[in-house]
């Protein structure tokens, strides 16, 4: 393994240091060069890692981080098949989005702060996927959460952006608490936090511990990856700059939960865990897709779509097909980043207007953007030969085998229905924004080349990405990952045509419904169903009407009577005790030398009397 390969997370970290410390004084071109150049170096190191990968997992220890008795954690890196796929995807897509940002953020005042945050995010994400111990992974996990918060609230002078950042942080905290408990449970029962050791020894755990630990970690994943019931922060995260939405809230960070489960895959093989993970994934996929159907903000459509596609990935790892999940993770990174960049290009052209009520007819003035959006949309809808078809179809095939093999049929059925709904909502969005007659006269201008080229490259990847997993040509990505998931569910070598045909039918039918049923920016009247969808199946009423007010009341109680009344009083009381005691004692210090001498005399006499009478 080339030494260069181990420097992957180092470069963006350096970029963050330089930009964070002196970025404000550097010219913009240099800031852009440092921001993109460090990520390009990380990508080059990732390519070197793939090129020199010997086949066996490679480890490297940087230093002993914690050594406390039996508890010892090394800060170490791990490069195996799974992390190589992840670093290639993260640094590659990240590089394209960094370049796009050079154009998108060109007018922004806080140019260097933006690139500093973005570089810090890249370093954290690469650390997350390269960490050798669960604790290092957790450090990366929390750091990407921090970067997410910083970048959602990047325009913190807008109240909504600042609130959305806070919301993301708080909701993630709920999941992270469960995650941390899971980590501690694994430590107490296995005595190690090394990721490979956990994978190897997972089978020795008793079923209660195994199910509890896996579900605790999964709860953490539902926060980070915006699954039911902790999905609410992701739509609000769209307040951040659009490239951030593309990079963090579509392609990379939100997939960390899927990566974590694939990484600790043997831990998630207990039947109870299988049912929970696959059902939550399938329900989320369907649930979020229905919301996307009635959403009018184009970026929020993408956000619900991301939640839905992440649901597919959890469905895949749930039904013991982690390779399919990682494959979908990769193609989704391509086409969803492309869709977001296209949406960003629309915002750039329309002066930040993203409400589909007032968009329309953009296909002519924004030809490249429209082309990119349509390619990404077709991939999302699962139309062959675009990449999304292959990965989604593979997941559906695995879900079908799961159902036939005696598992629950719910993942397959919901997955298939969701494929239809997905095609409808993305066709609706494309039609409203790009094809229907414009609402009012406007003169949008196409994005500059620095924004178009990343879109072109992502479009190429979106078209060709399916080749990574197309089984008819040998599925290079799946073959590469196969040794990693030797314990995964075995499947028949020759897939039938039944599921692909159903999947294509669902996609085509969805596109047809979307094109014919929605026109002139008027949704067909769905009556109470539309209300059901737009209220998030009344989950919004549960959250906004019950849970959030209850939490606020608890917070008021804790802040007032408990914090001020008990804790602050205790602390202040201790302080007052010390101050009062000192006020009394200071009277001894009169400053009169003769008095000190008298006290010494008395003390000496007392001592001598004590010795004499003893």
Partner 1 sequence: MVPLPAYLVLGALLFSLGMIGVLVRRNALIVFMSIELMLNSVNLTFVALSRHLGSMDGQLAVFFTIVVAGVEVVVGLAIIVEIFRSRATVNLDDVDLLRG
User: Minimum distance between the CB of residue 127 and partner 1, rounded to whole angstroms?
Assistant: 55
Instruction: Indicate the residue among 51 and 582 with the shorter CB distance to partner 1.
Output: 582
Of 308, 259, 264, 273, the C-alpha closest to 84 is 259
- In contact, 45 and 28? CB cutoff 8 Å: no
Stretch that binds partner 1, among 96-104, 243-251, 398-406, 596-604 (CB under 8 A): 596-604
d(CA 603, CA 614): 16
Question: Closest approach of Cβ 594 to partner 1, in Å?
Answer: 6
Looking at the Cβ atoms of 437 and 589, the one nearer to partner 1 is: 589
Kindly state whether residue 609 participates in binding partner 1, applying the rule CB under 8 A: no
**Complex with partner 1: residue 493 or 588, whichever CB lies closer:** 588
Please say whether the dihedral angle defined by the alpha carbons of residues 54, 139, 229 and 527, taken in this order, is positive or negative. negative
> How many C-beta atoms surround the C-beta of residue 613 within 10 A?
6
Query: CB of 143: closest distance to partner 1 in angstroms?
Result: 51
- What is the DSSP-derived secondary structure letter of residue 408? -
Instruction: Determine the interface stretch with partner 1 among 6-14, 73-81, 502-510, 597-605 (rule: CB under 8 A).
Output: 597-605
Gap between the Cα atoms of 70 and 65, Å rounded: 13
Closest separation in Å from C-beta 579 to partner 1: 13
Spatial distance between the Cα atoms of 428 and 442, rounded to a whole number of angstroms: 21
Structure tokens at 426: 């993305």
- Asked if 306 and 343 touch (Cβ cutoff 8 Å), the reply is no
* Closest approach of partner 1 to the CB of residue 591, in Å: 3
What are the structure tokens assigned to 451, written together? 């924004």
In the complex, least distance from residue 601 CB atom to partner 1, rounded to whole angstroms: 7
Question: What Cα–Cα distance (Å) separates residue 463 from each residue in 7, 86, 480?
Answer: 31, 20, 21
Closest CB to partner 1 among residues 63, 611 = 611
Distances (CA, A) of 603 to 519, 592, 600, 606, 614: 101, 17, 5, 5, 16
Residue 499: asked if its preceding bond is cis (omega within 30°), the reply is no
State the CB neighbour count (10 A cutoff) for residue 562: 13
At residue 68, φ and ψ (nearest 5 deg) are -130, 90
**Closest approach of partner 1 to the CB of residue 10, in Å:** 57
* C-alpha triplet 480, 486, 491: angle, nearest 5°: 90
Q: Give me the numbers of helices (H) and strands (E) for the chain, helices first please.
A: 25, 2
Question: What is the 3-state secondary structure of 82-100?
Answer: HHHHHHHHHHHHHHHHHHH
Task: Check: CB of residue 345 under 8 Å from CB of residue 337.
Answer: no
Give me the 439-468 binding string for partner 1, x by CB under 8 A, dash otherwise. ------------------------------
**Distance from the first to the final alpha carbon of the chain:** 79
Q: Which residue lies nearer to partner 1 by CB, 352 or 589?
A: 589
Judged by CB under 8 A, the residue of 482, 597, 606, 607 near partner 1 is: 597
Site string for partner 1, 60-79 (x = CB under 8 A): --------------------
In the bound complex, what is the minimum distance in angstroms from residue 604's beta carbon to partner 1?
10
Binders of partner 1 in range 391-450 (CB under 8 A): none
Among 601, 606, 607, 609, binds partner 1 (CB under 8 A): 601
CB nearer to partner 1: pick between 71 and 596: 596
- The footprint of partner 1 on residues 576-595 (CB under 8 A) is 585-594
Judged by beta carbon, residue 68 or residue 612, the one nearer partner 1 is 612
The total of other beta-carbon atoms located within 10 Å of residue 245's CB is: 28
**∠ CA(89), CA(122), CA(213), 5° rounding?**
80
Judge contact between 417 and 308, C-beta under 8 A: no
Q: How far is the CB of 612 from partner 1 (least distance, A)?
A: 15
Is 564 or 597 the residue whose CB approaches partner 1 more closely? 597
Minimum CB distance to partner 1 smaller for 51 or for 588? 588
How many residues of this chain interact with partner 1, rule: CB under 8 A?
13
Residue 160, burial from CB neighbour count under 10 angstroms (0-12, 13-18, 19+): exposed
Q: Give yes or no for a contact between 109 and 89, defined as CB atoms under 8 angstroms apart.
A: no
Separation between Cα atoms, residue 392 and residue 379, nearest integer Å: 10
Q: Which is nearer to partner 1, 587 or 614 (CB)?
A: 587
Do 310 and 227 meet the contact criterion of CB atoms below 8 Å apart?
Answer: yes
Closest to partner 1 by CB, 538 or 596: 596
Binding mask 537-576 for partner 1 (x = CB under 8 A): ----------------------------------------
How large is the angle between the packed helices 449-464 and 367-381, nearest 10 degrees?
30
**Minimum gap (Å) between residue 610 Cβ and partner 1:** 20
In the bound state with partner 1, the residue whose beta carbon lies nearer, of 70 and 585, is 585
CB of 602 to partner 1, least distance (A): 11
Question: Pick from 67, 551, 598, 608: which binds partner 1 (CB under 8 A)?
Answer: 598
Nearer to partner 1, 204 or 590 (CB): 590
Three-state secondary structure string covering 506-564: HHHHHHHHHHHHCECCECCCCCHHHHHHHCCCCHHHHHHHHHHHHHHHHHHHHHHHHHH
Select 529 or 602, whichever has its Cβ closest to partner 1: 602
Nearer to partner 1, 524 or 580 (CB): 580
Cβ 576 to partner 1, closest distance in Å?
A: 19
Shortest Å, Cβ 580 to partner 1:
14
Chain-centroid distance of CA 311 in Å reads 13
Min dist CB 589 to partner 1, Å, is 3
CB of 573 to partner 1, least distance (A): 23
Q: Which of 144, 152, 137, 138 is nearest to 122 (CA)?
A: 144
Q: Please report, as ranges, the residues that interact with partner 1 according to CB under 8 A.
A: 585-594, 597-598, 601
């Amino acid at each position: 393994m080339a030494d260069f390969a181990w420097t992957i997370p180092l470069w963006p970290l350096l970029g963050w240091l330089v930009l964070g410390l002196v970025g404000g004084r550097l010219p913009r071109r240099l800031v852009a060069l440092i921001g993109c150049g460090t990520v390009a170096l990380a990508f080059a190191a990732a390519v070197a890692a793939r090129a020199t990968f010997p086949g066996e997992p490679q480890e490297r220890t940087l230093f002993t981080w914690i050594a406390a008795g039996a508890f010892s954690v090394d800060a170490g890196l791990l490069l195996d098949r799974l992390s190589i796929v992840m670093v290639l995807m993260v640094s590659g897509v990240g590089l394209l989005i960094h370049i796009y940002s050079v154009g998108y953020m060109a007018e922004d005042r806080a140019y260097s702060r933006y690139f500093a945050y973005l570089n810090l995010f890249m370093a954290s994400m690469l650390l997350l996927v390269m960490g050798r111990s669960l604790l290092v992974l957790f450090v990366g996990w929390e750091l990407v959460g921090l970067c997410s918060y910083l970048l959602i609230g990047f325009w913190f002078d807008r109240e909504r952006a600042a609130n959305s950042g806070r919301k993301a942080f708080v909701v993630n905290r709920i999941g992270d608490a469960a995650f941390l408990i899971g980590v501690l449970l694994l430590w107490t029962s296995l005595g190690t936090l090394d990721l490979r050791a956990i994978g190897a020894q997972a089978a020795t755990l008793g079923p209660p511990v195994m199910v509890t630990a896996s579900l605790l970690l999964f709860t953490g994943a539902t926060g980070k990856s915006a699954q039911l019931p902790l999905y609410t922060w992701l739509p609000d995260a769209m307040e951040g700059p659009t490239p951030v939405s593309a990079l963090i809230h579509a392609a990379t960070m939100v997939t960390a939960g899927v990566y974590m489960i694939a990484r600790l895959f043997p831990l998630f093989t207990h039947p109870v865990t299988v049912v929970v993970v696959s059902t939550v994934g399938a329900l989320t996929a369907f649930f979020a897709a229905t919301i996307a159907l009635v959403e009018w903000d184009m970026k929020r459509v993408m956000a619900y779509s991301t939640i839905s596609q992440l649901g597919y990935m959890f469905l895949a790892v749930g039904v013991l097909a982690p390779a399919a999940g990682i494959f979908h993770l990769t193609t989704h990174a391509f086409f969803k980043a492309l869709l977001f960049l296209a949406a960003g290009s629309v915002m750039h052209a329309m002066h930040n207007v993203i409400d589909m009520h007032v968009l329309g007819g953009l296909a002519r003035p924004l030809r490249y953007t429209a082309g990119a959006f349509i390619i990404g949309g077709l991939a999302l809808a699962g139309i062959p030969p675009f990449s999304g078809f292959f990965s989604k179809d593979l997941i559906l095939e695995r879900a079908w085998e799961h159902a036939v093999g005696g598992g629950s049929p719910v993942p397959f059925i919901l997955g298939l229905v969701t494929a239809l709904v997905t095609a409808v909502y993305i066709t609706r969005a494309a039609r409203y924004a790009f094809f229907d007659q414009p609402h009012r006269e406007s003169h949008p201008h196409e994005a500059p080349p620095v924004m178009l080229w990343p879109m072109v490259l992502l479009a190429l990847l979106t078209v060709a990405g399916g080749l990574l997993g197309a089984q008819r040509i040998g599925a290079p990505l799946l073959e590469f990952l196969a040794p990693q998931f030797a314990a995964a569910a075995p499947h028949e070598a020759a897939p039938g045509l039944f599921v692909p045909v159903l999947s294509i039918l669902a996609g085509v039918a969805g596109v047809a419904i979307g094109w014919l049923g929605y026109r002139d920016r008027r949704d067909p009247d769905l009556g109470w169903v539309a209300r059901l969808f737009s209220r998030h199946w009344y989950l919004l009423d549960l959250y906004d009407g019950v849970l959030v007010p209850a939490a606020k009341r608890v917070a008021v109680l804790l802040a007032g009577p408990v914090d001020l009344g008990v804790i602050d009083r205790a602390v202040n009381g201790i302080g007052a005790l010390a101050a009062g005691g000192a006020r009394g004692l200071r009277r001894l210090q009169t400053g009169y030398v003769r008095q000190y001498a008298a006290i010494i005399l008395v003390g000496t006499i007392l001592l001598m009397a004590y010795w004499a009478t003893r």
